[in-house]
Structure 1
Amino acid sequence: MRLARTAAPAIALTLLLVPAFTHTAVAAPPRAKAPGDTVTLPVRDALEALPVRAEDTSDYSREAFRHWIDADRDGCNTRAEVLKAEAVVAPQQGARCTLSGGEWYSEYDNLYVEGPRGLDIDHRVPLGEAWESGAFAWSAAEREAYANDLGDDRALIAVTGSSNRAKGKKDPAEWQPPYAGNSCAYNTAWVAVKTRWGQTVDAVEKAALTEQLSHCPNVPVTVTLAR
């Protein structure tokens, strides 16, 4: 009995001395962003988030980007869809989505244009620039989606043919809109499109964008990631 009575306190003391182990929850790492996710960042932060790499200038061909398709099979190709969406005075639509009349505002040069014939549809980040900024490694389907991107109204824009030809495939270090009042919108949209498509910037391009955006409001940029 003596053993029984003295053993109980000893066991209790031993239990008190054993450290208590508790389960500590470990937070899961944040999920990597994926196509379809929405991202919002101040434009300067969005620029900083773009990877900086030298451009790949090998073997670019415009034919690598199949463009002006009729994705929704409504009879109107991508060019016509942009023209219809951006008209300040709606054009008339005839057979096979032939457009006539109407009026558009070309923001690059601050001009109003009557009728669609004097307009080009500009890829905000030109196809050649996109190729050099990562699209050389994309699939044909991804390049087609990029060339016909109606999912973000900053990607494709109706402008005068002369301004589009002057821009060519130049980046912001090489070309800025002749209308200075469009500068902030232009450079902000450039960053938005590159963010949407996961493109890179080269060092000179980034420096030019940084300089241009330093004179602009640091507005939030919201994009839905395409890739």
Structure 2
Amino acid sequence: MRHRIGYGWLAAAALTVSVWAGTVPAHSVARGADETLPLREAIARLRVAVEDRTGYDRDREFGSGWVDADRDGCNTRAEVLLAEAIEAPTVSGRCTLSGGVWFSWYDGQEVTRTDIDHVVPLAEAWDSGAKAWARERRVAYANYLDDPRHLEAVSQRSNRQKSDQDVAEWLPEESVHCKYLTYWVPVKLSWSLSVDEAELEALESLADGCPDTDITYTPVP
């Protein structure tokens, strides 16, 4: 399998961007020290709470579109496409992309058209704690590039099948269930997002069939 390039070159980007009427730090949220622990212990660390979608409005609460945090002409979507391409697209003008190939590991397909998936969907984040955040933090979450597990270029079909469902409701193909857990769990921990009882049960059940791999996450205060 071919592998994407990393996001390290993005971390040094300028870190502010105007969104709507205000200035929003799209991926400049302060971060804590890295924490590393086995997968099952990481799952046990997740806070359990009832989910609540009251008041959710994607565009109003998380921003109406991708932002260009470093003002280089490439918005978050384009940055992910450039970072994850297995055959690089051509870049012209102010970051107009054409061509390119991506590996959608959710369904094992090489694709030329992709969606950008929030591994923990925006609606799921809202349900799990983001409802209480300031809007600026939610926009930062929607555009977060400091952790390459946060956003994934995947096939349009798999992204639409997944929609805003959690691991109790939707999973990628079976061969990558364990990988999916090592993305889902650190995102939840990094942002202090809770899980509901059904989600926790699904995570624990899936982890029983996976190596107890160490995962590293970085808390976002």
- Determine if the TM-score, normalized by the shorter chain, exceeds 0.5: yes
SS class of match (1:120): strand
> Which of 178, 183, 186 is residue 184 of structure 1 equivalent to?
178
Q: Is the 8 A contact 1:188 1:213 kept in 2?
A: no
CA distance in 2, matches of 1:36, 1:99: 34
Structure 2 unaligned runs (5+)? 1-29
CA distance in 2, matches of 1:211, 1:55: 20
CA distance in 1, matches of 2:217, 2:186: 7
Q: Give the number of the structure whose residues are more often helix, by fraction.
A: 1
CA distance in 2, matches of 1:48, 1:122: 25
CA offset digits 1:112-143 (Å, max 9, x no partner): 012xxx21000000000000000000011110
Amino acid of the structure 2 residue aligned with 1:203: E
Amino acid of the structure 2 residue aligned with 1:124: V
SS class of match (1:96): coil
Structure 1 unaligned runs (5+)? 1-33
Q: Percent identity?
A: 52
CA distance in 1, matches of 2:33, 2:128: 21
4+ residue runs over 3 A deviation? none
Amino acid of the structure 1 residue aligned with 2:51: E
Q: State the structure with more CA Rg.
A: 1
Task: Say whether residues 1:49 and 2:39 are aligned partners.
Answer: no
CA offset digits 1:178-199 (Å, max 9, x no partner): x211111012210010011110
SS class of match (2:94): helix
Task: Say whether residues 1:141 and 2:139 are aligned partners.
Answer: no
CA distance in 2, matches of 1:108, 1:35: 28
* RMSD, aligned α-carbons: 1.1
User: 1:69-148 residue pairs with structure 2 within 5 A?
Assistant: 69-114=67-112, 118-148=113-143
Match in the other structure for 1:218: 212
